[in-house]
Amino acid sequence: MTQHFGTRLAAAMAAAGPLCVGIDPHAHLLASWGLPDTPEGVRRFSLTVLDAVAGHCAAVKPQAAFYERHGAAGLAVLEETLAAARERGLLTVLDVKRGDIGSTMGAYAEAYLGEGRPLAADSITVSPYLGYGSLRPALDLARRTGRGLWVLGLTSNPEGRDVQLVGEPTVAARVVAAVAEDVRGMAPFGDVGLVVGATLPRPPEEMGVDLVGCGAPVLAPGVGAQGAGPQDVARTFAGMTERVLVPISRGVLAAGPDQDALTESARRWSGELAEALGGRPGPPGLARPTVTR
Ligand SMILES: O=c1ccn([C@@H]2O[C@H](COP(=O)(O)O)[C@@H](O)[C@H]2O)c(=O)[nH]1
């Protein structure tokens, strides 16, 4: 029987720590790497990142937008990137932020979570803006195929709070409560996780959001180029750091195109995260590379 995503994620994090390297082939990064802003440039960028970071992080997070901007050829590169990550033993988080009425959500679920689908990933990001219940087809299919979902909760961008912190209980608190219900009893943690930024001004509990009691893993963007650091992750997610996967895109990618420099950057972030979050793999004590904001 297929292991559920929470089990696979926990195993990957136990082996390689909490770092998830984001693959965001921004036009400015392609240029600074000396690559053309074409599907072939995106392909070379993505495969270089995968070769550099395999073995130094638990997962990779390709950002679909940067592939989609190249049309069908870009999507073919995304398919190749997902397959190449799998070949290198890396879990994939496809950051595609899908969400729609249930009947259409079923088709998105097939596309990204269906067995044998060209764009299937180990997990995807989803938006609960059409109501948490509208995500049900994706939740069901993910569970059947041993895949996972990351539901937007409290995103890393400050504007998100205009929507997510409205109401009593807040929208974010309702989403977290719905996820808690779906992962209740799952160990080591659930197959549905939450996206909660490491950039929050206060711990989620102080914002009325009970993440510690929820039992879901958390994907915590915002470290590096958005200004948060490993200590912010430790502070924001105190009491549940073993469940936090930390995606870093530009903060790692700025070290390219040299493959050894990319590897070193991933190792440094991994070490700093291990030191801040307590006792996970990575070489502590190395300085973090400069990142472009
Ligand atoms: O709340 C969110 C949700 C997703 N993201 C995505 O993560 C990366 C962050 O990139 P950095 O270069 O590490 O800042 C990017 O793909 C975002 O779309 C997020 O930042 N915040």
pLDDT tens-place string over residues 120-147 = 999 999 999 999 999 999 999 999 999 9
pLDDT of 279 reads 58
Mean pLDDT of all residues in 233-256: 97
Determine, yes or no, domain membership for 291: no
Mean pLDDT of all residues in 249-257: 98
Determine, yes or no, domain membership for 292: no
pLDDT of 2 reads 78
Q: What is the pTM for the complete model shown?
A: 0.95
Mean pLDDT of the chain: 94
Mean pLDDT of all residues in 87-112: 98
pLDDT of 275 reads 96
Distance 278 CA to ligand 1 centre (A): 24
Determine, yes or no, domain membership for 285: no
Residues with Cβ within 8 Å of residue 51, at least 6 apart in sequence: 88, 259
Determine, yes or no, domain membership for 281: no
In terms of residue numbers, what domain contains 17?
Answer: 5-276
Determine, yes or no, domain membership for 283: no
Determine, yes or no, domain membership for 289: no
**Has residue 282 got a pLDDT over 60?**
no
User: H/E/C letters for each residue in the chain?
Assistant: CCCCHHHHHHHHHHHHCCEEEEECCCHHHHHHCCCCCCHHHHHHHHHHHHHHHCCCCCEEEEEHHHHHCCHHHHHHHHHHHHHHHHHCCCEEEEEEEECCCHHHHHHHHHHHHCCCCCCCCCEEEECCCCCHHHHHHHHHHHHHHCCEEEEEEECCCHHHHHHHCCCCCCHHHHHHHHHHHHHCCCCCCCCEEEEECCCCCCCHHHHCCCCCCCCCCEECCCECCCCECHHHHHHHCCCCHHHEEEEECHHHHCCCCCHHHHHHHHHHHHHHHHHHHCCCCCCCCCCCCCCCC
Q: 21, 81, 95: which to mutate for ligand 1, most atoms within 8 A of CB?
A: 95
Distance 173 CA to ligand 1 centre (A): 21
pLDDT of 280 reads 52
Using a 6 Å cutoff on CB, does residue 155 contact ligand 1?
yes
CATH code assigned at 65: 3.20.20.70
Annotation marks residue 61 as catalytic: no
**Has residue 292 got a pLDDT over 60?**
no
pLDDT tens-place string over residues 185-228 = 999 999 999 999 999 999 999 999 999 999 999 999 999 999 99
Determine, yes or no, domain membership for 109: yes
Alpha carbon distance 175, 151 (integer Å):
8
Using a 6 Å cutoff on CB, does residue 22 contact ligand 1?
yes
Best CA proximity match to 225, nearest among 202, 204, 254: 254
By the 8 A CB rule, do 102 and 95 touch? no
Determine, yes or no, domain membership for 288: no
Number of structural domains (the chain) is 1
* Structure ipTM: 0.99
